[in-house]
Amino acid sequence: MDKDYLCGDYGTVTDWTQLRVTVHLADLDRLTAVMSMISNNLQIEDYSDIDLKTCYGDLIDEAILNADKTVASVSVYLPAERSVAESVAFLKERFAAEGLEPIKIETVGVKEEDWANAWKAYYKPVHIGKRLVIVPAWERYDAAPNELVVRMDPGMAFGTGTHETTRLVIGLLEKYTKKGCRMLDVGTGSGILAICAAKLGASECFAYDIDPVAVRVATENIKDSGLSGIRCAQSDLLRQADRTRPYDLICANLVADIIIRMVPDLSPFMDEHTVLLASGIINERAQDVKDCLDRYGYRVVEQPTENGWCALAVMKKPS
């Protein structure tokens, strides 16, 4: 009778951590779309359409009868090898980009007080592309002569190089960042993309995020990196971004719907030489993003994929 269902084989309870997010009922569809970026196996709790007139009350669980019909919840179940902290940080960054404000984010199977240190065990040095190595701030790492080390402490901001969306866009960054270029990072999260671009030779980087927590974390990471030429500030997508002249490179590791919303505002920030690197796109939504880009005069020049995710390297169509 209710919409509480669970797809997939999750094994024993002790092997999994439930990550449950509750929103106002009107936001359920948007929440479901974001949660599906973590897993396609969702548990949805929505009791708003139970018709008590056609049900035998004594056959319905009392908790369902008394449940708040104005809210709904979506859960995913994370295996032991998946970092709960990484998943929560990923969701928070996506919620901020969507303008979605959850009522509650809960976990079952992990004590919140244990996160401060336990989640660090999931982060190890990650090699991306030919030269970049993302190293957690607390890890010792001896770099090879040709490697560029980016040290990160993600805190509560998304972006450590472990997720496919971040790896895809960093791989493109390594290819398209030119020495002395001007770079814009929209939805910077931990600041990782701006820092990588600066390491690769960008002389001027602008990093923006709508979430003040992400701005704080990114600012700290940028300061700790010892790099100059990176500015970080709060902005709703491109609204407060510096627009004194076009950028050579723009990164947008967001979600498909937010990228689509941003596309109509891109033109002042791009010229015929600018490359936009868009990521955070599940393969099923790639065509929607590409169709939008085409309508506004852009073309996709490259589309790498990994585990159901894709990134797009985009330029303006020739005049």
Give 216 or 311, the one with higher predicted confidence. 311
pLDDT (0 to 100) of residue 60: 40
Beta strands 182-186 and 249-253: pairing type?
parallel
196: pLDDT strictly greater than 90: yes
Beta strands 104-108 and 71-79: pairing type?
unpaired
Provide the CB-side half-sphere exposure for 142 (13 A, CA). 0
Complete DSSP assignment for 219-250: HHHHHHHT-SSEEEEE-STTTTS--SS--SEE
223-279 confidence digits (pLDDT tens): 888 888 899 999 988 999 988 899 999 999 988 988 999 999 999 999 999 999 999
pLDDT (0 to 100) of residue 166: 83
Q: What is the DSSP letter of 139?
A: S
User: What distance in Å separates the CA atoms of residue 137 and residue 126, rounded to the nearest whole number?
Assistant: 12
> 77 — phi, psi (to 5°)?
-120, 120
User: What distance in Å separates the CA atoms of residue 141 and residue 184, rounded to the nearest whole number?
Assistant: 29
Give 2 or 318, the one with higher predicted confidence. 318
Highest mean pLDDT among 22-31, 78-87, 152-161: 22-31
109: pLDDT strictly greater than 80: no
Average pLDDT over residues 53-77: 61
Q: What is the DSSP letter of 294?
A: H
219: pLDDT strictly greater than 80: yes
Give 228 or 186, the one with higher predicted confidence. 186
pTM score of the predicted model = 0.66
180: pLDDT strictly greater than 90: yes
3-17, 103-117, 185-199, 297-311: which has the minimum mean pLDDT? 3-17
* Residue indicated by tokens 């100059």: 228
pLDDT (0 to 100) of residue 78: 83
1: pLDDT strictly greater than 60: no
Q: What is the DSSP letter of 23?
A: E
pLDDT (0 to 100) of residue 157: 43
Complete DSSP assignment for 159-214: -SS-SHHHHHHHHHHHHH--TT-EEEEES-TTSHHHHHHHHTT-SEEEEEES-HHH
pLDDT (0 to 100) of residue 179: 95
How much is the mean pLDDT over the chain? 81
**What domains lie within the chain, and their CATH numbers?**
5-109 (3.30.70.120), 133-316 (3.40.50.150)
Average pLDDT over residues 76-96: 82
How many residues does this entry show for the chain?
Answer: 319
Count of CB atoms within 10 A of residue 5's CB? 9
